[in-house]
Amino acid sequence: MSLLATVAFSQQKADIIASYQESWRDWESDTLKTVGMTLLANNNESKYFNDLSLWSDSLSSTPDGKAQLQQIIMAACMTQHPDGSISVDLRKGPVKKVDTYVFSNLADATITCYDKFAGELSCYTEPMDEMQWEIGDSSRVVLGYECMQATTDYHGRRWTAWFAPEIPVFFGPWKLHGLPGLILEAVADNGISYQATGIEPTERTITPMYSSDSYQRVDRKRALADEEHYRNNMEAMVRARYGATVKFENITERPKYDAQRYAAEPDYAE
């Protein structure tokens, strides 16, 4: 039976919640990194995000919540030593590490991405019709669902995806969308991948972006180009903003950021 059969249709409520493992190669260390992400979706809209980030941003959206979040983080990260000294290790606490949110909407055929580019909170919107799929003959089972293969060229990458027609949801992880079934697995030609780890029906609300007025509107390609420049010149840019005396600890010489190797959307560098 379809996952959607037990849940009433709603514009604001999701029909399914899917968890994904997002994997990519880190440009500084050239090692594989992974993070858990979540997709809320119904037949008309979806929201892709990190659960810890959503919790953190929801608290930070009000003055009282922001104060509560700071107390929670300090309680988890602060250690008082026998000599009376205090140390703070933010790695111990529920500190937001993922800035990406992706909202997809069939009603206006757009994708809106909220993220941090060059150290600034930014967002942009793009049309859905930029992703066109070719469905193949191959199939495989993912999480117990028979999935069909499809491929597309999108913003400089060749993507191969596996979607489940049994789950008639138009969306998938990140910006991936447009297939007659939920995308459960996808991999790009540079190794970036998304792997579904769980799916279940839900009535969670697809809430809008918290503190959306804090995000500046940008052009996608320009924002990605600015991010590349920031990664390759971060120390100099920080010193230019805050003063030449700023010191960086534990910073080793980093390789030059290579969009063709690491970026999900390298078309900005063409």
Pairing of strands 216-217, 120-127: parallel
- Give the pair of three-digit tokens for residue 42: 């119904």
Q: pTM for this one?
A: 0.87
Average pLDDT, the chain: 88
Q: In the prediction, which pLDDT does 87 show?
A: 74
**With bands split at pLDDT 50, 70 and 90, how would you rate the model's confidence at 140?**
very high
- Residue spans of the domains in the chain: they are 3-50+98-269, 51-97
Predicted pLDDT of residue 164: 98
**Among the ranges given (69-78, 81-90, 202-211, 229-238), the one the predictor scored with the smallest mean pLDDT:** 81-90
Count of Cβ atoms closer than 10 Å to residue 138 Cβ: 11
Most confident region among 8-12, 85-89, 144-148 by mean pLDDT: 144-148
Which positions ≥6 away from 83 have C-beta within 8 Å?
none
Residues 18, 26, 264, 143, CA torsion sign: negative
Per-residue pLDDT, 11: 47
Q: If pLDDT is split at 50, 70 and 90, which confidence band does 240 have? A: low
The domain over range 3-50+98-269 is classified in CATH as 1.25.40 = no
User: In the chain, what is the straight-line distance between the N-terminal and C-terminal CA atoms, in Å?
Assistant: 46
Query: Which own/partner contact pairs does 87-96 have at CB distance under 8 Å and 24+ positions apart?
Result: 94/52, 94/55, 94/56, 95/56, 96/50, 96/52, 96/53, 96/56, 96/57
Q: Compute the average pLDDT of residues 118-128.
A: 96
Higher pLDDT, 61 or 250: 61
Give pLDDT, residue 129.
93
pLDDT of residue 7: 40
Given this model, what pLDDT does residue 251 score?
56
What's the pLDDT tens digit per position in 32-84? 999 999 999 999 999 999 999 999 999 999 988 888 878 887 777 778 777 77
Taking 80 as the threshold, does the pLDDT of residue 215 lie above it? yes
Q: What is the mean predicted confidence (pLDDT) over 93-115? A: 93
> 181: buried, middle or exposed (CB in 10 Å: 19+, 13-18, 0-12)?
buried
